[in-house]
Amino acid sequence: MHPNQLPNSICEKCGFTSWLGLCPQNQKTGGKVIRTRTKKTDSRANLAFRQAAASLGRSQTALGSFYRRMKTKLGTPKAVVATAHKLARIVYHMLKYQVFFSAIPPEQEDERYRQRLLHNLQPKAQKLGAKLILETQSDSA
């Protein structure tokens, strides 16, 4: 399927994932989210993306690492949907721009994630009035 063959209302990544039923539909009142869920759909593509996402649990790839992080943070069902959403965005990008998927090595992705966590800790420490000093652990113990 080429993105040009999709209905006109599905023109961007967010429209594609919403059409698949992999986007959250937030119900808000007063600017506050009171309920969130995904759209009910009988799409076979939805099922395929969810099954592909669920199979990443034991995969030693960057997407597998993402799935495991989401699973610890959100639980299995929401992790499957989040990973399926990410897979759908990747597939859409590949189809639209006719590019190949270039996988990031899992070690590089884990290091990027670790650096992001450390970067996000600094403002939190500063807000608490503390100074964050980074020190690498030696494996001599």
Per-residue model confidence as pLDDT tens digits over 47-72: 999 999 999 989 999 899 999 999 99
Flag whether 141 is in a domain: no
Flag whether 124 is in a domain: no
Q: What is the pTM of this model?
A: 0.74
pLDDT at residue 4 tops 70: no
* DSSP tag of 138: P
Write down the residue that tokens 């799409």 correspond to: 43
* Strand-pair partners of 36: 26
CB-count burial class (<10 Å; 0-12, 13-18, 19+) for 116: exposed
Q: What is the share, in percent, of the chain residues with pLDDT greater than 70?
A: 89
Which structural domain, as residue segments, surrounds residue 33? 3-102
SS3 135: coil
Tokens of 41: 């759909």
Flag whether 130 is in a domain: no
The structural domain count of the chain equals 1
Flag whether 109 is in a domain: no
Q: Is residue 109 within 8 Å of 103, Cβ to Cβ? A: no
Flag whether 140 is in a domain: no
Q: What is the largest CA-CA distance in the chain?
A: 61
pLDDT at residue 121 tops 70: yes
Flag whether 10 is in a domain: yes
Flag whether 68 is in a domain: yes
Contacts of 36 (CB under 8 A, 6+ apart): 24, 25, 26, 27
